[in-house]
């Protein structure tokens, strides 16, 4: 850890800052940063490896550390409430979805975007055609 920096806050990991090393993948972070991160996700920010413990490095120079196991991550259910205007009772309807469902559904598209787009080579296709293709692609 000596000479390295925290990938989350980008500050140097020094003897004055408590550091933590994820046991599953051996990536190092500031203890405060990885504690905050682990409250939301239990995947390493760098390599996405699942973890449930880390080694707290109390003194980098002497290599003293102790292992800390994390409690199970709460499955907070997020509640979406909306008013159904056309319902006969006029009552609110509550939909409960897990965090995973909400994260995955918001990032989905109807079809995946290709890695690269080609609108035609300059000189081979007129500029107005390339411009039109770019506009169509942006609208899709």
* pLDDT tens, position by position, 37-71: 888 888 999 898 998 888 887 665 666 777 888 88
Q: By CB neighbour count within 10 A (0-12 exposed, 13-18 middle, 19+ buried), where does 94 fall?
A: exposed
Residue 80: the pLDDT is: 44
Distance of alpha carbon 54 from alpha carbon 64, whole angstroms: 13
Q: Where are the domains of the chain?
A: 1-73, 75-109
Strands 19-22 and 77-83: unpaired
| Choice between 137 and 36, residue whose per-residue pLDDT is larger | 36
Mean pLDDT of 90-117: 56
CA angle 135, 137, 139 (to 5 degrees): 70
pLDDT over 70 for what percent of the chain?
61
Q: Return the CATH superfamily for domain 1-73.
A: Zinc/RING finger domain, C3HC4 (zinc finger) (3.30.40.10)
Mean pLDDT of 98-118: 58
């Amino acid at each position: 850890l000596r000479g390295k920096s925290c990938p989350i806050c980008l500050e140097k990991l020094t003897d004055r800052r408590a550091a933590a090393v994820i046991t599953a993948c051996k990536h190092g972070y500031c203890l405060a940063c990885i504690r905050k991160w682990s409250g939301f996700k239990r995947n390493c920010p760098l390599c996405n490896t699942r973890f449930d413990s880390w080694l707290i490095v109390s003194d980098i120079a002497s290599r003293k550390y102790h292992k800390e196991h994390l409690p199970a991550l709460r499955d907070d259910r997020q509640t979406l409430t909306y008013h159904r205007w056309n319902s006969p009772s006029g009552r609110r309807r509550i939909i409960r979805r897990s965090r995973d469902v909400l994260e995955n559904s918001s990032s989905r598209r109807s079809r995946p975007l290709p890695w690269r787009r080609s609108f035609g080579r300059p000189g081979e296709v007129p500029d107005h055609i390339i411009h039109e293709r770019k506009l169509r692609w942006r609208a899709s």
